[in-house]
Amino acid sequence: MSYEKRFDGRSFDEFRPVEIKVGVIPRADGSAMFKIGKTVAIAGVKGPRELHPAHRRDPEKAVLNVYYDMVSFSTPDRVRPGPDRRDTELSKVIREALEPALLLDKFPYAGIDLFVYILQANAGTRCAAISAASLALAHAGIPMRDLVSAVACGKVGDKIVVDLTKEEEDYEEGATDVPIAIMPRTRKITLLQMDGSMTPEEAKEIVRKGIKACEKIAELQREALKSVFEGGNNE
């Protein structure tokens, strides 16, 4: 059966309403909240600062530590507090999505700690995490060659869609989830994963649409960063 109309009525290329706030954690060196639909991610950055343990220090650049975790009330069924294997993998994946954009060689031997929590999960969590994290790092003043913007695209039934909801991910006729992250200015992909199956032609189309959606998200991220110092003060 064909997926004709999206559950929430969106068009196939439309992502859910996005809300961004930069500077939500006053004590962090940088912070941001990224909300897309019902998915909410909050990122906080401390650093550059002393890196422990000492054997992890890199004489050529700072080491980025990413700690991704979902809070216990983020999902309909309570998730046990603390990182699980998925969180550990996502921490790595998020780090690898952000590192290409960062100029870490300015802080040799140092560490940059990035904490990103999912306060509410309705699919697209790692993408929301990446988008929030990129803003938090920019807010902290970590030099970077570009922001990183992310969105989860894919296939629901036979239709290619942008920004899947949990309902769409669980579509009984099958769905494929393709999280994508890019550095928007150069459109270079820093994250590309697939959970499901697709043909090579579908892959091209999904990536093409994903990049377009990420570019739009990047524009929202830029506005949010500017608004820290323009008009409304977000602290």
Partner 1 sequence: MSEVYVKDRELVVPGQVIAKGIDFIPSSGTVREGDSVVATMLGLAHQKNKIMRVIPLVGPYFPQVGDQVIGRISSVGFSGWMVDIGTPYPASLSVRDAVGEYVDLQKTDITKFYDYGDLIVAKILYISKGGNIRLSMKGPIYRKLKGGKLIKITPSKIPRLIGKQGSMVNLIKTRTKCLIIAGQNGWVWISGERRNEIAAAKVIAMIDEESHTTGLTERVEATLKKLMGDNNEL
- Provide the minimum distance between the beta carbon of 126 and partner 1 in the complex, in angstroms, as a whole number: 21
- Provide the minimum distance between the beta carbon of 144 and partner 1 in the complex, in angstroms, as a whole number: 5
Look up tokens 């068009």; give the residue.
11
Nearer residue to partner 1 within complex by CB, 81 or 141? 141
Nearer residue to partner 1 within complex by CB, 11 or 233? 233
What three-state secondary structure class fits 30?
A: strand
Residues that bind partner 1 (CB under 8 A): 29-30, 47-51, 59, 62, 101, 103, 106-111, 138-147, 183-186, 218, 222, 225-226, 228-230, 233, 235
Please give the radius of gyration of the chain, using alpha carbons only, rounded to the nearest integer.
18
What does residue 143 show for φ and ψ, rounded to 5 degrees?
A: -65, 140
Look up tokens 């913007």; give the residue.
149
Nearer residue to partner 1 within complex by CB, 30 or 154? 30
Look up tokens 């969105």; give the residue.
151
Nearer residue to partner 1 within complex by CB, 28 or 160? 28
- Provide the minimum distance between the beta carbon of 165 and partner 1 in the complex, in angstroms, as a whole number: 29
Nearer residue to partner 1 within complex by CB, 107 or 115? 107
What does residue 35 show for φ and ψ, rounded to 5 degrees?
A: -120, 130
**Alpha-carbon distance 59 to 64, whole Å?**
14
- Provide the minimum distance between the beta carbon of 54 and partner 1 in the complex, in angstroms, as a whole number: 11
Closest CA to 131 of 52, 62, 193, 191: 191
- Provide the minimum distance between the beta carbon of 6 and partner 1 in the complex, in angstroms, as a whole number: 31
What three-state secondary structure class fits 38?
A: coil
Amino acid identity, position 105: D
- Provide the minimum distance between the beta carbon of 107 and partner 1 in the complex, in angstroms, as a whole number: 6
**Alpha-carbon distance 190 to 186, whole Å?**
11
Nearer residue to partner 1 within complex by CB, 62 or 180? 62
